[in-house]
Structure 1
Amino acid sequence: MHDFHCWADAQPERVAVVMADAGTQFTAGELARKSRDYAQWLAAQGIEPGDTIALLLENRVEILELALAARLAGAYVAVISTHLTAAEVSYIVLDCQAKMLFLSGKTESLAGTLNIKNKYLIDERPGGASLRTLVNGYLAGRPAPIDLSDRPAGRDLLYSSGTTGSPKGIKKALFPPEVRQGVADPELAFWARQLSFNEDTVYLSPAPLYHAAPLRTCIRVLNMGGKIVIMERFDAGKSLPLVEAYRVTHSQWVPTMFQRLLALPAEIRKKHDLSSQKFAVHAAAPCPVHIKQAMLDWWGDILVEYYAGSESCGATLITSEEWRRHPGSVGRAVNGKIHILSEDGAELPPNEVGKIYFSGVAPFSYLNDPAKTQEAFNEKGWATYGDLGYLNDEGYLYLSDRRSDLIISGGVNVYPKEIEDALSPHPGVADIAVVGIPHPDLGEQALAVVVPVAGTAPDRHLASDIVNRAAGVLSRVKIPRRLVFVEKIPRLETGKILRRKLKEEYRDIPLPGFDVNPVIQSRSQSIEPQDRKTS
């Protein structure tokens, strides 16, 4: 079976969801009953196939109940980040033309001035009916059941992270009705095969459910009959006991979480039995080589990394064993075929950096933005996430950067990630980001923005030492000439650096931070394991 409701009907007493902080457990039967009630209510309120409902909720079980209800009702569900401003929330709700918006007591203020007729509060409050009260009131009238069997199966309508501009809705075709009778949709079948999801899966989800990977994986695990354990908020110290207590088999992380796990005291890291884990999946942002190596040394060869996106227009995957042979790679294609193209659209040979495209994948569109949709495809119909990278001789993909993050200094392409990878192993670096800032002669130059390790003096000596240690692995043009210390790098919860914010912050500052004068080694002395031709 490949449908949650089919599993729930067969095994209603099975625990399907655990909210980790409170320890509250929800059976499959309970979750199925509520989602079916909500689906009937949604249809009775006029939600038609292809309509959209929006959720602005912190991590809580109602996200899953309403997502499953939308699946039954044939609707799209847009789960919105709770960290957005009121203006950003308003933009998404209006852009996706949501017919309904569901809020909690914690998020209600973000939608206070939003002009949408149908706003519903999940929580009880004096003088106002909660969603459950409204649904129970509707059902109390014993209405005739609405036949939803011929409707397509609903799905998510998620928005891009907006690291390079306004978030864009990613709209894909609804699934046929048959997937609700246990027939696996293509995306579920693909990921279940790659990550061995089944009825014995126990999946730990430490990230916000408004992100594509955790939301989709939770639904996929439920559709395969497994159990999910949801952290209301990530806490490195709390995650390890959860793995032990619930005998977690699958977990999903981002590199920032790995860094926080590795920062735990050794006695905490050794205290818990993590042997139940079979797959520790990570994606969303590039993982520094030394961080991944440290995780492999700790957890063993259970790490699986993939490269994909909310658009689902191609994917790569790499196992721990493969990564040890190809450190830094995100793997070989498992969905679509990879093509590396030059600026003029010519296909490049191995080891040359260009824009990454995938052929042979399902189409998608950006909601209300045909121009951006067109930019995502070339004349052959190949799709891109907008990233740069190269394939080695064995077909393993290495990421360089997003095209929009590229620094062009004196006409030379400089990739921020390459510089970050070279500087981040320094013992005084807790976190780092590299961005391009204006330069009167070169056009742009690289600025290193560094969070120093607690207890170190953020002075000129440390700044120079950080850069000098990387001088042996970076060519002259790639070495930052300026470094600034900060308390925090702006990142999304997925770990993606908000370079746009850093560029805006330092764009008009003539000489930010420290002027560092690296000792440049001769080319005969230097080594450049990541240096690749660019086109």
Structure 2
Amino acid sequence: MSDWASPKPDPKGGVAPSTTRVANLAQHLTRNARRLGDSLALVYGSDRWTWAELDARVSALAAGLRADHGVEKGDRILVQSQNCNQMFETMLACFRLGAVYVPANFRQTPDEVAWLAESSGAVGMVCGAEFPDHARACDTAARRFVLTIGGGADDIDSLIAAHMGAQVPNTTVDRDDPCWFFFTSGTTGRPKASVLTHGQMAFVLLNHLNDLMPATGPADRSLCLAPLSHGAGIHQMAQVAAGAATVLLPPGRFDPAVAWQIVQDERISNMFTVPTIVKMLVEHDSAQAHDLSSLRYVIYAGAPMYRADQKVALKVLGKVLVQYFGLGEVTGNITVLPPAEHSEDDAEMRVGSCGYPRTGIEVSIQGSDGTELPPGQSGEICVSGPAVFAGYYNNPEANAKAFRDGWFRTGDLGYVDAEGYLYITGRESDMYISGGSNIYPREIEEKILTHDAVSEVAVLGVPDPTWGEVGIAVCVLHAGAAVDPDDLLAWLKPKISGYKLPKQVILIEDMPKSAYGKITKKLIRETLQERGLLELPAEA
């Protein structure tokens, strides 16, 4: 763990000089511009750029940031934007300058983004024109500039145009020099800035290409379905490393029909998303109306995919699913379950497993005292390897909790089988205790999803005066389906142990999800409280 785990009082948050020089991440773009200059690099709506054109725009932006706004190595640049070419270019320009890319979840409130700006020490901001309140909230003395995407006096495209033709070399960087502040989702309290470095990311990109998308190269095209602020940004940087083109969804509400049309027209070979989006895609009628034969890898992560949804996706797409398990702090690099190990047949698949450890990564299941537990025994999933982040920025308390004896503690619970395949049983924060028994919601959720009427489910624990906590099951039904909550409980009762049976089923029309399409218990709990739906049956 580098000095970033316990940052020194440096206004730029710098670290002690390293003797290990590595290639700047933007070198991938430089190489592609030289070798693949006229090949397609990026698509956004009707606009298309070659590698040479993309490199020229990134150099112009880097030149403008340096000359007009004084951006130097180590400076943090906050980005509040939906996916667009300018966001992609800003990421690469930050890398080229040795600055730090600090993307925000674009669905956060102005106050939340202002907190990110303050806590990261950002000196400047790139902000979509549709977020004026966010720009104002971040307009403090510490911000030297705000560039706007999509118009305005300080439009980023105007800055690029003013410096077009400038040649900006990639700044010399060392292994431990930061390149990205990857904010956690903040499901429990304030988000924390995970410090990703040039050396760490070099390993991550190679690992992605080796373990998730073997043989990906310049002939491939990748559809970006998720926000570039998090896992999709890592995934698309892997495409840059491979020389493969990135296709961004056009602006507007996510539409499966539009996504499938792009897959057909652009001959998309890979895409990365979360299980809930895969579910939306494969259950949409348009999946049957388009040619999807170009797809080789549909990569899902962020949460385990329920078995019922896996089977539907495999039936629609064939053997192209790739699952990985990886937190932002390990930059998506913990386990992989490749296409060959996915099957509709339960007898041919390790049902419930998220795969085996990624290349160069070690997984250890540990007890509360740090003792490694044997196969089959559940404990905390801990990780070591070159993909583990440098630590949380300016947060020594969080670092002390996150690391133990060189292992990063994920906070996820699970076990490995005799061959090293990992099974996630839940998050420590999702577990609840009812009548003295630990209950992990995932097992119950898997059972409920086998009911024909249920499309989505989340089980969470709520306070109870008798048992301490009891479970409630929040369900979304398939379109046109109907089931009485009491009948659903009666159907579930013989399928699980009595103490695990939820005390209540609540039916809602739409499941609350995070900006990245994840079903999060925090959002569900908040939604139920807002709607006054958390009252339990009298007998509870």
TM-score (norm 1): 0.87
Q: Kindly report which structure 2 residues correspond to 1:92-111, keeping only aligned pairs within 5 A, or say none.
A: 92-111=116-135
- In the alignment, which of 23, 33, 40 is matched to residue 15 of structure 1? 40
Q: 1:121 deviation in Å?
A: 1.4
- In the alignment, which of 440, 461, 467 is matched to residue 415 of structure 1? 440
8 A contact 1:277–1:302 mirrored in 2? yes
Identify unmatched segments of 5+ residues in structure 1: 177-183, 519-535
Distance 2:319 2:170 in 1: 45
Q: 1:503 deviation in Å?
A: 3.5
Change (3 A) 1:138 1:201: closer
Q: Does 1:3 align with 2:10?
A: no
8 A contact 2:235–2:272 mirrored in 1? no
What letter matches 1:244 in structure 2?
Q
Q: Deviations over 1:288-343 (max 9, x none)?
A: 00101111122111111000111117510012332442011100111422111122
Q: Kindly report which structure 2 residues correspond to 1:25-174, keeping only aligned pairs within 5 A, or say none.
A: 25-44=48-67, 45-114=69-138, 115=140, 116-125=143-152, 128-137=153-162, 148-151=170-173, 155-174=179-198
8 A contact 2:513–2:519 mirrored in 1? yes
Q: Does 1:209 align with 2:220?
A: no
- In the alignment, which of 294, 297, 307 is matched to residue 325 of structure 2? 307
- In the alignment, which of 210, 217, 227 is matched to residue 198 of structure 1? 217
Distance 1:508 1:133 in 2: 44
What letter matches 1:85 in structure 2?
T
- In the alignment, which of 346, 350, 356 is matched to residue 332 of structure 1? 356
Distance 1:414 1:236 in 2: 36
8 A contact 1:172–1:363 mirrored in 2? yes
8 A contact 2:449–2:456 mirrored in 1? yes
Distance 1:311 1:399 in 2: 17
Q: Deviations over 1:117-174 (max 9, x none)?
A: 311112323xx2422323544679x8xx666543458632221111222111110333
Distance 1:170 1:347 in 2: 26
Distance 1:510 1:123 in 2: 40
Larger relative contact order (Cα-Cα within 8 Å, sequence gap ≥ 6)? 2
Q: Does 1:502 align with 2:520?
A: no
Identify unmatched segments of 5+ residues in structure 2: 1-22, 344-348
Match in the other structure for 1:372:
398
Q: 1:384 deviation in Å?
A: 2.1
Q: Deviations over 1:213-239 (max 9, x none)?
A: 211111221222111111145321111
Change (3 A) 1:507 1:393: farther
8 A contact 1:206–1:230 mirrored in 2? yes
8 A contact 2:485–2:505 mirrored in 1? yes
Distance 2:53 2:173 in 1: 23
Change (3 A) 1:511 1:220: closer
- In the alignment, which of 306, 313, 320 is matched to residue 339 of structure 2? 320
Change (3 A) 1:149 1:159: closer
Distance 1:474 1:123 in 2: 54
Change (3 A) 1:154 1:227: farther
8 A contact 1:78–1:156 mirrored in 2? yes
Change (3 A) 1:6 1:471: same
8 A contact 1:201–1:227 mirrored in 2? yes
Of residues 297-306 and 252-261 in structure 1, the stretch that sits farther from structure 2 once superposed is 252-261
Secondary structure at 1:365 match in 2 = coil
Change (3 A) 1:408 1:205: same
Distance 2:259 2:436 in 1: 46
Distance 1:236 1:517 in 2: 43
8 A contact 1:467–1:516 mirrored in 2? no
Change (3 A) 1:505 1:411: farther
What letter matches 2:505 in structure 1?
L
Secondary structure at 2:229 match in 1 = coil
Q: Does 1:188 align with 2:181?
A: no
- In the alignment, which of 492, 497, 510 is matched to residue 514 of structure 2? 492
- In the alignment, which of 402, 421, 425 is matched to residue 400 of structure 1? 425
Secondary structure at 1:228 match in 2 = strand
- In the alignment, which of 380, 389, 397 is matched to residue 355 of structure 1? 380
Q: Deviations over 1:498-521 (max 9, x none)?
A: 212333565799984674999xxx
8 A contact 2:96–2:169 mirrored in 1? no
Change (3 A) 1:359 1:150: closer
Match in the other structure for 2:260:
240
Q: 1:357 deviation in Å?
A: 0.6
What letter matches 2:66 in structure 1?
A
Match in the other structure for 2:287:
269
What letter matches 2:219 in structure 1?
D
8 A contact 1:463–1:516 mirrored in 2? no
Q: How many residue pairs end up in the alignment?
A: 497
Distance 2:397 2:98 in 1: 27
Secondary structure at 1:330 match in 2 = strand
Q: 1:360 deviation in Å?
A: 3.5
TM-score (norm 2): 0.86
Distance 1:390 1:112 in 2: 47
What letter matches 1:41 in structure 2?
G
8 A contact 1:328–1:398 mirrored in 2? yes
Q: Does 1:447 align with 2:447?
A: no
Q: 1:205 deviation in Å?
A: 0.9
